[in-house]
Amino acid sequence: MDLNTIERNETDSASQSAAAASAPAKKVFVKTYGCQMNVYDSQRMTDALAADGYTATDVIADADLVLLNTCHIREKAAEKVYSELGRIRDMKAERAAVGREMLIGVAGCVAQAEGAEIIRRSPAVDLVIGPQTYHRLPDVLARVRGGEKIVETEYAIEDKFEHLPQPKRAEMIKRGVTAFLTVQEGCDKFCTFCVVPYTRGSEVSRPVAQIVAEAERLADAGVREVTLLGQNVNAWHGKGEDGMEWGLGRLLFRLAEIPGLARLRYTTSHPRDMDDELIAAHRDLPALMPYLHLPVQSGSDRILKAMNRRHTAKDYLALLERIRAARGDIALSGDFIVGFPGETDADFEATMGLVRQVNYASAFSFKYSPRPGTPGADMPDQVPEAVKDERLQRLQALLLKQQQDFGLSLVGCTIDTLIEKPGRQAGQKVGRSPWLQPVIVDEKAGEIGDIIRVRITKTGYNSLFAELA
């Protein structure tokens, strides 16, 4: 699971159905915690609610419905949700005092993991809904308005894929020139630190026809770059249009045939599922961007075994050698956990050694956080917090240096950049490099959606500055 945690408000407006058009507009505020899959799911929730007469708002005080789309990867993320619910409860009481309704819902992986416990701890919550049941939101809300408290966490992932709402083209156009597209959910790997198999279920792949159809709709709405999502995305497999079993590499080749779709990415991957066909896609497919997020978690074989990763550091490095031989300009990203139970100084130094050997363009690193119900939480030799802190600071300093060095290595280079949005400062636009860095260009360099050739002139803290080549 990609541990790159993000927190943002979903602010795109959802279209209203004809049946709801004459009713007073209802507004929904969705706050997203966690991975890119949650970002995708939040958009799907607003799509499902459009038929119920809701439009999205980024002002929580204006909302008739507040949904927190939660993450259960980190302990602090779960507790942050309960803290947020306390603030929303007070807001709901203020609204009730003047005769205005505000419904509160908790969605996502915390909802799936804790279920009715959420309503017990936060009685102001009206509904709890798991990640695979968002298409049922309108029906659930009807029951809530009838006075019920709803906990809806029973699911079949296939059912979710079958009923994903399809937003209107006009609404899709508003969402920009890059998009996420879920192709796979769940995980069968059962890493001992991870709750994903318990909150998202076993690995299920979305059918090829559904994926291609959604990608075609996105391209028709002006999307130029699509990122395929899955908890273990390179384990995706499905029956292709020729009746044969396809893997992710074959799927990427098919998506690259869609007119207007110029760039493809995928995340998050597991080293054990990088097969020859997928490596060949990196070699042969220009649309597949030269950037790979491939988490390793630790450089110590002893810790990797305790994590149930089922690969060694040598396996990982050999795989990277094959990938880099196929695509020389590929940049690597990864995930790291420090302070896993039993991690010694020598184990941590093995991680530092692996990082130096790989030389990452970017990476995400975290202190181990015990999650209830996972084997790691019950392991002996839990590492003291002070030791975790010291190790994390050392690792992050090294990773930041590598990230900065990678940016500096691009100064003077000519690259393709997808212009994505207006810049924060007047006279600027922001593009996206093949390696996911923001690229700042003059606003006259091109229009949003254009892919332009630029020369990198300097680096910022997390961005590149460029001029037309």
- Length of the chain measured in residues: 469
Element (H, E) at 467: strand 464-468
DSSP labels, 449-464: T-EEEEEEEEE-SS-E
- Alpha-carbon distance of 85 to 287, in angstroms, equals 43
Please list the residues that pair with 468 across neighbouring strands: 454
CB-based contact 68:81 (threshold 8 Å):
yes
pLDDT value for 405: 97
Phi, psi of 466 (to 5 degrees): -145, 160
Helix axes 345-358, 385-409, angle to 10 degrees: 10
- Alpha-carbon distance of 351 to 313, in angstroms, equals 9
- Alpha-carbon distance of 339 to 384, in angstroms, equals 8
- Alpha-carbon distance of 264 to 436, in angstroms, equals 12
- Alpha-carbon distance of 151 to 118, in angstroms, equals 9
Q: Please provide the distance, in angstroms rounded to a whole number, between the alpha carbons at the two ends of the chain.
A: 38
- Alpha-carbon distance of 454 to 442, in angstroms, equals 11
CA dihedral for 58, 59, 63, 68, sign (positive or negative): positive
Is the entire prediction scored with pTM above 0.75?
A: yes
pLDDT tens track, the chain, 469 positions: 443 433 434 333 333 334 334 456 799 999 998 788 888 888 888 888 987 889 999 999 999 999 999 987 766 667 788 889 999 999 999 988 888 899 999 998 888 888 888 999 999 999 999 887 787 888 899 999 889 999 988 766 555 566 666 666 666 667 789 999 999 988 999 999 998 888 888 888 999 999 999 999 999 999 999 999 999 999 999 999 999 999 999 999 999 999 999 999 999 999 999 999 999 999 999 999 999 999 999 999 999 999 999 999 999 999 999 999 999 999 999 999 999 999 999 999 999 999 999 999 999 999 999 988 899 999 999 999 999 999 999 999 999 999 999 999 999 999 999 999 999 999 999 999 999 999 999 999 999 999 999 999 999 988 999 999 9
- Alpha-carbon distance of 107 to 371, in angstroms, equals 18
- Alpha-carbon distance of 155 to 339, in angstroms, equals 34
| Selection from 298, 288, 248 nearest residue 264 by Cα | 288
The two structure tokens encoding residue 284: 């042969």
pLDDT value for 37: 83
Give CA torsion, residues 182, 188, 192, 198, to 10 deg: 70
| Selection from 38, 121, 46, 45 nearest residue 72 by Cα | 38
Interstrand relation of 362-367 and 331-338 (parallel, antiparallel or unpaired)? parallel
